[in-house]
Amino acid sequence: MLAALRASHKIQWKYSLIYRNCVRFYSKDFSETELLPEEKQLITKWREKLNIDTINKDGFTFSFARSSGPGGQNVNKLNTKAMLRFKVDSQNWIPEYVREILKTKASSKINKGGEYVIFSEKTRSQQNNVSDCLEKLVEDLKMASLLPKDPTPEQIERVKKLKEIEKRKKIEFKKFKSEKKSDRRFKY
């Protein structure tokens, strides 16, 4: 019974590993794709100009709820917690690359309806919490619009050397294991 359980666990683990590798291989990851130099320039210019004032607020919906935490009776009376919602796909002022990165990297902030949700209950003022939500959005957009730097030739060479060292270590370990197992065999 125990051996069968172990064997089934190994099979499940093996298939889950295969599944993860397939998902990694077939998933469309925009961070891995090559962008044209013109696209990179457009994204960097867009990123430099991005601030609270340049955000196109069409399609944004703000809702308010009662905030948690200390505040005495005021907490029970006023709706100061601000929630910002918008559909990422419908925001054409955000470059496509940034939208895709935002969907993958910040997927925990996207609900089932495809809305990006940001909330703030930092202060006891509705107005300040709305501006805090917008600041958080700007931060998230700037993080998503960061372009990966191209590796230098030294970095490429270092990675090649590390891969070769890893291969050698793996082969040495396999030889060691096989010798250890061959020494266990009964000799006549």
Report the residue count for the chain.
188
Token code pair at residue 24 = 């990694």
Which one is predicted more confidently, 143 or 185? 143
- Alpha-carbon separation of residue 82 from 14, 56, 120, 181 (angstroms): 46, 18, 5, 65
Q: Are 140 and 65 in contact (CB under 8 A)?
A: no
The reply to whether the predicted model has a pTM over 0.75 is no
pLDDT surpassing 50 at residue 74:
yes
**Which of the four pLDDT bands, split at 50, 70 and 90, describes residue 173?**
very high
Strands 61-65 and 115-120, sheet pairing: unpaired
Q: What is the pLDDT of residue 159?
A: 92
pLDDT surpassing 80 at residue 82:
yes
pLDDT surpassing 90 at residue 14:
no
pLDDT digits over 42-66, tens only? 988 999 999 888 888 888 999 888 8
Mean pLDDT of the chain: 80
Q: What is the pLDDT of residue 22?
A: 40
Does domain 55-144 fall under CATH 3.40.50.150? My reply is no
pLDDT surpassing 90 at residue 30:
no
Domain ranges for the chain, please list them: 55-144
Spatial separation of the C-alpha atoms in residues 155 and 162, rounded to whole Å: 10
Spatial separation of the C-alpha atoms in residues 10 and 102, rounded to whole Å: 36
> What are the backbone angles phi and psi of residue 61, rounded to the nearest 5°?
-125, 130
pLDDT digits over 95-131, tens only? 888 888 888 888 888 888 889 999 998 888 889 999 9
